[in-house]
Amino acid sequence: MTQEFPAEDIDPLAVGAWILGTGGGGNPYLAQLNLKKLYAAGKTCRIIAPEDLNDDDPVAVVSKMGAPLVGQERLVDPAHLARALQLMEETIGRKFAAVMSIEIGGGNALSPFLAAALLDIPVVDADAMGRAYPEAQMTSFAIGDLKMYPLTMVDCRANEAIVAKAASWKWMERVSRSVCTELGSTSATCKAPRTGAEVKEWGVLHTVTKATRLGRAVLDARRTHSDPVKAILDLEGGQRLFTGKVVDVDRTTTGGFLRGQARIAGLDGDRDRELVLEFQNEWIVALCDGDPIAMTPDLICLLDSENGEAIGTETVRYGQRVTAIALPAPEILRGAKGLEHVGPRAFGYDFDFKSVFAQ
């Protein structure tokens, strides 16, 4: 059973997804405008609960791939995402029953909606991260050791590529990232097809609903002139990490990723302290005066202190007044197997995961 996704939920979804993006997933603004344009032209989207999928339903998994900063300069058209899905249908010889996002964070939360509006198939209320991550092996499907191929890729020049097989999730990441880099570090992709049974067992469920609810709380707080940061923390059981002013940003695009760090000088109760946020597309580790105080897979979110707007790794800049918060990670990311894929050691840090929310 499907339900209409109303036009008035586009803005809340974009706001909430940008927060859950933990700095990555791409700024949703352009996808938000594209989806509104499709609705204005008479297109609509439908949502299907994961529980309503048949076990053998083929489900497409779409996303934009590449460095977030490049994605702001070279735009992915909705038709590119739809074509990546169609290319996968041609490759596997089956029509998809539904489409979902690989990550609910950032603009990729809206990617399946752009394809769905053009192809008239429902969007699954789920993703494979519960946030955003930069690499293929950092998904709940990879944690579940599901098949990682084939993958299709389409760019703005009408180049189309298929990764027919990969030896592992990390090899899928290496091969597809290399192709994406050659295409200019941004492209539309359709990941390995999933079945309804796989989505129900290994997906992070009801995250479209979660992102929309979160965005609505922020927009309501702005309308009532209440504190949107507090609204986020109250709704999600999060914790404030630091309040301050951005004083330096070091960022570079290399190998298809946006890497670097942002330094934040403390204000108010954090005066005379400094927070450093290190990132690889997403915020990965927060260090206060040199000591790690928050780390992946807990969600590290950087927000505008006044309006609660999320700040991405490609949009953070000198002078912004910001509040860093942490939100709890999905359970599948916090288990021993999950930490092998997305814990701090998976990003090259020489320390084990310690949750902000540990008792």
Q: Could you tell me where the beta strands, DSSP code E, fall in 1-101?
A: 2-5, 45-48, 58-66, 98-101
Task: Find out whether 143 and 202 touch, Cβ atoms under 8 Å.
Answer: yes
Quick one: pLDDT at residue 255? Answer: 72
Instruction: Kindly state the tokens that stand for 15.
Output: 């706001």
> Given the DSSP bridges, would you call strands 58-66 and 98-101 parallel, antiparallel or unpaired?
parallel
What residues have CB less than 8 Å from 263, skipping those under 6 apart? 246, 247, 248, 249, 274, 275, 276
Residue in 30, 36, 50 with CA at minimum distance from that of residue 8: 36
- Cα 62 to Cα 115: distance, rounded to the nearest angstrom: 8
* pLDDT single digits (tens) 284-315: 999 999 999 999 999 999 999 999 999 999 99
Average pLDDT over the chain reads: 95
Which of 126, 28, 15 lies closest to 68 in space, CA to CA?
28
Q: What is the rounded average pLDDT of the residues 141-147?
A: 98
Q: What is the largest CA-CA distance in the chain?
A: 61
Please state, in angstroms and rounded to a whole number, the distance separating the CA atoms of residues 222 and 240: 19
Nearest to 60 by CA among 202, 190, 201, 207: 190
Q: In the chain, what are the helix, strand and coil shares in percent, each to the nearest 5?
A: 35, 30, 35
At 310-350, the pLDDT tens digits run 999 999 999 999 999 999 999 999 999 999 999 999 999 99
Does the structure show a pLDDT above 70 at 72?
no
Assign 31 a pLDDT band (cuts: 50, 70, 90).
Answer: very high
Give the H/E segment covering residue 78: helix 78-92
Question: Measured between alpha carbons, how far is 136 from 102 in angstroms, rounded to an integer?
Answer: 9
Confidence class for position 185, pLDDT limits 50, 70, 90: confident
pLDDT at 68: 67
pLDDT, position 359: 60
Nearest to 340 by CA among 126, 170, 132: 170
pLDDT band at 74 (very low <50, low <70, confident <90, very high): low
Closest CA to 290 of 351, 207, 212: 351
* Per-residue model confidence as pLDDT tens digits over 247-265: 999 999 777 678 999 999 9
When pLDDT is cut at 50, 70 and 90, the band that residue 69 belongs to is low
> CB of 67 within 8 A of CB of 183?
no
Average pLDDT rounded to a whole number, residues 37-63: 98
- pLDDT for res 52: 98
pLDDT at 269: 95
Instruction: Tell me the pairing of strands 239-254 and 321-327.
Output: antiparallel
pLDDT higher than 80, residue 43: yes
**Rounded CA gap, 21 and 266, in Å?**
23
Dihedral, 181, 183, 185, 191 alpha carbons, nearest 10: -90
